[in-house]
Chains A and B, each alone.
Chain A
Amino acid sequence: MNKIKLEIEALPENVALARVMTSAFVSIYDPNMSELSDITTAVSEAVTNAIIHGYGENEGAVRMSLSAENRVITIEICDDGAGIENIESAREPLFTTKPEMERSGLGFTVMEEFMDVVEVKSSIGEGTSIVLKKELGGEV
């Protein structure tokens, strides 16, 4: 079992850093290009959500932990932001609370499509935790 932890300030420009770290970590386990792209994209969605929905204009930190065990990559992304009012709605395709920012409402749809497991826990005013899992070399 291998694990790294990362904490980034909730700034949109830092999502690229979260992707680079994810890509470097997952690359240790020899993923194919499609697996690497899927995981990086799902992380991009989750971290973006934490920053723009969790914190909005407020300051805060996004914590990530990445682990690998038996070729299963598990990534947890946590924030101490606003929390999600209705997780069921938030997971519906095209649902967005920020249409003025041209959010497409596809964040969770992408995570669910690209990862094997997407778990969401959230409490209003306390924050959100997303767990993403994918087995490398698993089902195509």
Chain B
Amino acid sequence: MKLLSEVQISVHNRVLIAAPSGELDHFQSERLRAQIDAAYEKSSCKHIVFDMAGVSFMDSSGVGLVIGRYKKAAISGGKLIVCNMSESVSRLFSLSGMGKIIQEADSVGAALDILGVGGTL
């Protein structure tokens, strides 16, 4: 079992793709938040895509992490899309009511298509 969560960050056509893995609780979300924000500020990215495929557990702290990044992207005129959500992750987002504001996609590729920067990764 991996004790510390990690986040893989990549950039594709001015879209920052953040793929956290492990358990997104308060402790881990705080750690990953700093890493994602540093990468976003350093890059010239506008949009953010969260790839949740590697998330094994999430509580409301993970929702806070995504909402916080959504706000950052919105300030830069960007969008945020969440993809590869498990049933339990998706349920937490529905509870937050953010489903209406934050877009969902089935895959990273589908998210990039929505952002109009599709193509091969």
Contacts and interface: CB of A to CB of B under 8 A. Distances in A.
Contacts of A40: 57
A129 interface: no
Contact of A94 (B57, B68, B96): B96
Nearest to B26: A48
Interface in A23-59: 34, 37, 40-41, 44-45, 48, 51-52
A113 B95 contact: yes
Given A94-B96, A110-B59, A15 B64 contact: no
Given A13-B27, A102-B33, A48 B88 contact: no
Contacts, number: 72
Nearest to B67: A104
Nearest to A18: B25
Interface residues of A, number: 26
Nearest to A45: B59
A44 B65 CA distance: 16
B97 interface: yes
A123 interface: no
B61 A93 contact: no
A136 interface: no
A47 B65 CA distance: 18
A103 B30 CA distance: 10
B60 A12 contact: no
Interface in B2-27: 3, 23, 25-27
B3 A110 contact: no
Contacts of B45: none
A113 B94 CA distance: 11
B57 A110 contact: no
B33 A104 contact: no
The residue among B3, B57, B58, B60 with the most chain A CB atoms within 10 A of its own CB is B60
**Which 4 residue pairs spanning A and B have beta carbons closest together?**
A106-B60, A12-B27, A104-B64, A102-B64
